Amino acid sequence: MIDPVPPNIELLRDLRRLKVDGSDQVIGARAFDVLAYLHSNEGRVVTKAELLENVWADLNVEESNLTVQIAALRKLIGARAIATVPGVGYQLTLSAKAPAEPPKALPLPDKPSLAVLPFANLTGDAGKDYLVDGIVSDLISALSCIGAFFVIAASSTFTLKGKAIDLADVGRQLGVRYIVEGGIQQAGESLRINIQLVEAETGHLIWSQRFSGPLAEIFELQDNMVAATASAIEPSILTAEALRTDRKPTTSLTAYDLCVRATPVANGAPGAAAFHAAREQLRQALDLDPHYVRAKGLMCALHIGALSTRAITFAEARSCLPLAEEILADARIGDPQALCDAGFALAFFGGQQHRGLTALRRALALNPNSFMVLMSSGWAHSYLGEVDTAEEHFLRAMRLNPIDPNIGLARSGLANLMYLRGDYEAAILMSERALTEAPGLYGTLMTLVVTCWKTGRIAEARRYAETFRALVPELTISWHLQDTPDRVATWRQDVEDAFRAVGIPE
């Protein structure tokens, strides 16, 4: 909703009080200082560097602190009262008149949509503008590789550089729901890149991150920032989409909205109840659109996650394999996540590890910065005993997104690799950490049982086996060996011997 003409504000500087249309407002000290400085300079654009220098004086603070204060002020005095000037700073526009007509809104695409605005050059060196713009262009290119997103081209967003804008207006004009902003600061020989993801309509901050490094290593810093940001923004937006959809009435649900609701469950390790609810949502989505590739991929991901906790059986998991085959049969598909889900389904419970890896390689070529694609590839390589490649993919996934909710799955994979290398103590420590981050994972418990048995800790092995049996009461040695995707002969033999030693039936 577009704000009317900005309200009348009264700053009582000596008392540090703010009145909006005659009413006292609760305002934080930093927010008051930011508003006071903007008010003193109304009529001109105030750079972010100038605000940071004057409001925070000698304190070394991140640009995200300023972003938080601007968001708080917009809630108090209206979003239109403070205009954003991409790549520069902010301008107080209390005297501005409301437009005769609101900007014409472009329809939102049928997938999460975002625009990356030009970053602010806060280094104090105008000669670095080219470097700042290059970083933004690279980030747009990386985000464009994520098939689940609709990303506005750099040629469109760079036309906004240096102009006073309202984020909600930009969202409507470009037809996007999310905006990425940022700035680059320099302190001596060090650079700091601050990035934030906000919802265009509300200005709500969804995600922010800081990257820093030596100026001499700017290109390595740039590459790391682009890769990590692309990896982190993907789950942040999908989570925001799920929360947004939860607020919509059920009568307006579409196949897309049904998929959005199912996404958090499908991308995790659900229990039986959550699995069945999400499966029904995805079935409805496919009934509405039988050709919806994302729904097919999510159905595969849902069965993968549920099998990882043995909430379902291998036989139940295989029910989604026809959908995986449909995804892989279409050579035109450019959705890396759908290819990942289909490929890993083949590798995990389809008995086709090599074919699954072929699909995962396609997914990695399309999006080399996806946590889920890298982690799935790591597991698929580990099934074949390709330890070095598996480790590389697990570690890269964890570097790109160290706070991903599925980080425990990656650590579980690393623990298995440590066992294969004979580093049993490290395997136990990594497994215990993985179990804390992702309780109830079959693979983690199996590694703990086998590793404790291998190192002579039979009591501990039996304790983990009890948890194991509670998770899968019907577990037998033959049942496991028949269905396991692992193809490493020595590992299979160790599992068989360990299971027998802790009392798991034949």
Domain CATH code at residue 19: 1.10.10.10
Helix (H) or strand (E) holding 184: strand 178-187
106 domain-assigned: no
pLDDT score recorded for residue 6: 57
DSSP states of 105-116: PPPPPSS-EEEE
Q: Which residue has the tokens 């820093």?
A: 212
Q: How confident is the model at residue 58 (pLDDT cuts 50, 70, 90)?
A: low
pLDDT score recorded for residue 291: 86
Predicted TM-score of the model (pTM): 0.63
pLDDT of 118 strictly over 60:
yes
d(CA 289, CA 149): 19
**Do 85 and 174 have their domain in common?**
no
What does DSSP say about strands 46-47 and 82-85: parallel, antiparallel, or unpaired? unpaired
Pair of tokens at residue 202: 């509300």
The SS3 of residue 208 is: strand
d(CA 236, CA 245): 14
pLDDT score recorded for residue 253: 53
**Do 125 and 200 have their domain in common?**
yes
pLDDT of 274 strictly over 70:
yes
Environment class of residue 50 by beta-carbon count within 10 Å: exposed (0-12), middle (13-18) or buried (19+)?
Answer: middle
375 domain-assigned: no
Nearest C-alpha neighbor of 462 from the set 487, 445, 481, 486 = 445
**Do 303 and 327 have their domain in common?**
yes
**Do 502 and 414 have their domain in common?**
yes
**Do 123 and 214 have their domain in common?**
yes
pLDDT score recorded for residue 132: 83
Residue 396 makes CB contacts below 8 A (sequence gap 6+) with: 374
Q: How confident is the model at residue 368 (pLDDT cuts 50, 70, 90)?
A: confident
Residue 41 makes CB contacts below 8 A (sequence gap 6+) with: 92
pLDDT of 456 strictly over 60:
yes
Pair of tokens at residue 71: 């968001």
**Do 447 and 498 have their domain in common?**
yes
Pair of tokens at residue 298: 């999510």
101 close to 43: Cβ distance less than 8 angstroms: no
pLDDT of 42 strictly over 70:
yes
**Do 156 and 253 have their domain in common?**
no
pLDDT score recorded for residue 95: 58
Environment class of residue 273 by beta-carbon count within 10 Å: exposed (0-12), middle (13-18) or buried (19+)?
Answer: exposed
The SS3 of residue 119 is: coil
Environment class of residue 492 by beta-carbon count within 10 Å: exposed (0-12), middle (13-18) or buried (19+)?
Answer: middle
Tens digits of per-residue pLDDT, 407-450?
A: 899 999 999 999 999 999 999 999 999 999 888 889 999 999 99
pLDDT of 147 strictly over 80:
no
Of 341, 367, 393, the last residue of a domain is: 367
List phi, psi (to 5°) of 290: -65, -15
Residue 349 or 239, more confident:
349
**Do 173 and 121 have their domain in common?**
yes
Span 336-348, average pLDDT: 94
pLDDT score recorded for residue 277: 94
72 close to 28: Cβ distance less than 8 angstroms: yes
Total structural domains within the chain: 4
**Do 427 and 498 have their domain in common?**
yes
Q: How confident is the model at residue 244 (pLDDT cuts 50, 70, 90)?
A: low
Residue 211, beta-bridge partner list: 193
**Percent of the chain surpassing pLDDT 90:** 34
Burial annotation 112-145 (CB, 10 A radius, 16+ → b, else e): bbbbbbbbbbbbeeeebeebbbebbbbbbebbbb
pLDDT score recorded for residue 331: 63
pLDDT of 144 strictly over 70:
yes
Q: How confident is the model at residue 366 (pLDDT cuts 50, 70, 90)?
A: confident
102 domain-assigned: no
Range name among 32-36, 79-83, 243-247 with the lowest pLDDT average? 243-247
Q: Which residue has the tokens 């009435």?
A: 249
Tens digits of per-residue pLDDT, 297-338?
A: 999 999 999 999 889 999 999 999 999 999 999 866 778 889
Residue 205, beta-bridge partner list: 198
**Do 293 and 351 have their domain in common?**
yes
313 domain-assigned: yes
Domain CATH code at residue 363: 1.25.40.10
Instruction: Tell me which residue range forms the domain holding 335.
Output: 248-367
Which stretch, 23-32, 166-175, 346-355, has highest mean pLDDT?
Answer: 346-355
Provide the mean pLDDT of the chain.
Answer: 84
125 close to 107: Cβ distance less than 8 angstroms: no
391 domain-assigned: no
Span 22-34, average pLDDT: 84
d(CA 153, CA 329): 30
Tens digits of per-residue pLDDT, 485-499?
A: 998 999 999 999 999
d(CA 138, CA 143): 9
pLDDT of 5 strictly over 60:
no
Q: How confident is the model at residue 98 (pLDDT cuts 50, 70, 90)?
A: very low
Nearest C-alpha neighbor of 275 from the set 309, 235, 249 = 309
Span 48-62, average pLDDT: 78
474 domain-assigned: yes
Domain CATH code at residue 221: 3.40.50.10610
**Do 201 and 292 have their domain in common?**
no
pLDDT score recorded for residue 389: 95
Tens digits of per-residue pLDDT, 159-191?
A: 888 777 788 888 888 888 889 988 888 878 888
379 domain-assigned: no
**Percent of the chain surpassing pLDDT 70:** 92
Environment class of residue 311 by beta-carbon count within 10 Å: exposed (0-12), middle (13-18) or buried (19+)?
Answer: buried
pLDDT score recorded for residue 418: 96
Residue 472 or 505, more confident:
505
Q: How confident is the model at residue 216 (pLDDT cuts 50, 70, 90)?
A: confident
pLDDT score recorded for residue 428: 95
Environment class of residue 315 by beta-carbon count within 10 Å: exposed (0-12), middle (13-18) or buried (19+)?
Answer: exposed
Range name among 43-52, 96-105, 168-177, 252-261 with the lowest pLDDT average? 96-105
pLDDT score recorded for residue 282: 94
458 domain-assigned: yes
Phi and psi based region of residue 96 (left: phi greater than 0; alpha: psi -120 to 50; beta: remaining): beta
Of 45, 61, 92, the last residue of a domain is: 92
Q: How confident is the model at residue 28 (pLDDT cuts 50, 70, 90)?
A: confident
378 close to 394: Cβ distance less than 8 angstroms: yes
Of 175, 202, 235, the last residue of a domain is: 235
**Do 171 and 224 have their domain in common?**
yes
